[in-house]
Amino acid sequence: LGRPPMAVGFDIDDTVLFSSPGFWRGQKTFSPGSEDYLKNPQFWEKMNNGWDEFSMPKEVARQLIAMHVKRGDSIWFVTGRSQTKTETVSKTLQDDFLIPAANMNPVIFAGDKPGQNTKTQWLQAKQIKVFYGDSDNDITAAREAGADYVGDMDMVEKIQKENWFDF
């Protein structure tokens, strides 16, 4: 194996962060009983600028990110969240997961466009070789971009035991 340092990507919501509290609050605040809040720019301004303070980092993600940092890999976060004028998500993730500036990149807000997998182009553009996610959309994006996909975040032990990335 012994792969050289590479670009790796992570989905954010429910992959590295348990972010449901922010989404729950968004629905309650902006569109009780419906998903309309997901199309509301005000919700995304809140979610991308502070509501992640209520999101809990997943321990398995902490371990995976630490392994990739140790390898010298470049860390990217690619999310389906809508882009906003400002964002604090990048700093929150860097702080939560102790990612050195040399390994960290700004979060990519791929957004959501019907009939299009908005993450694919970003995985290709950033030459991401391994993508960690939690949805069918993430699997498709990784496949289309030619990246390896890891969808079972409980695979840390297997990755370490089988020395997938020459840790």
Q: Would you call 77 helix, strand, or coil by DSSP?
A: strand
CA 152 – CA 137 distance, rounded (Å): 14
Residue of 11, 52, 73, 138 marked catalytic:
11
148 is a catalytic site residue = no
CA 87 – CA 128 distance, rounded (Å): 22
11 is a catalytic site residue = yes
| Those residues with Cβ within 8 angstroms of residue 136's Cβ, 6 or more apart along the chain or in another chain | none
What is the end-to-end Cα distance of the chain in Å, rounded?
A: 10
CA 66 – CA 32 distance, rounded (Å): 38
Kindly list the distances between the CA atom of residue 163 and the CA atoms of 7, 15, 90, 156, in Å, as whole numbers in the listed order: 18, 22, 29, 10
Mode of pairing for the β-strands spanning 56-57 and 17-18: antiparallel
Residue of 13, 73, 96, 138 marked catalytic:
13
Active site residues: 11, 13
